[in-house]
Amino acid sequence: HRLVEIISEHQPDAVAIEQPFMAKNVKAALAIGKAQAVAILAAANKGIPIYEYTPAQIKQRVTDYGASTKEQVQEMVRLQLGLAEVPQPNDAADALAVAICHLRETHLDSLLARQRGEK
């Protein structure tokens, strides 16, 4: 329920998550799926749009290479945000990568819409 509090406190314009992937560890995959479901429901209950990105989309937007390693993504997050070190724990760097991807995706969409003469 802490996520609901965070959403209420910060009132985000959007929620971006990584689409589920096939994990080798079934328990980990189920835990990730549950966490994603909680995030989606919490955002939906507040009327916040939800955006989902594949791991390849996130890698492409953060590193310009869709098959980047986790370490390469983390290092690019560090560089792009001007941080002294890669954010820890690894989940924090992953979350920041999703946020960077979302910003780039939505910015690209708005640029393309402007080129087409849309508002």
Bond before 20 cis per omega within 30 degrees? no
This prediction has a pTM of 0.83
Q: What is the mean pLDDT of the chain?
A: 89
Q: Convert the pLDDT of each residue in 60-107 to its tens digit.
A: 999 999 999 999 999 999 999 999 999 999 889 999 999 999 999 888
**Which domains, and CATH codes, for the chain?**
1-52 (no CATH), 54-119 (3.30.420.10)
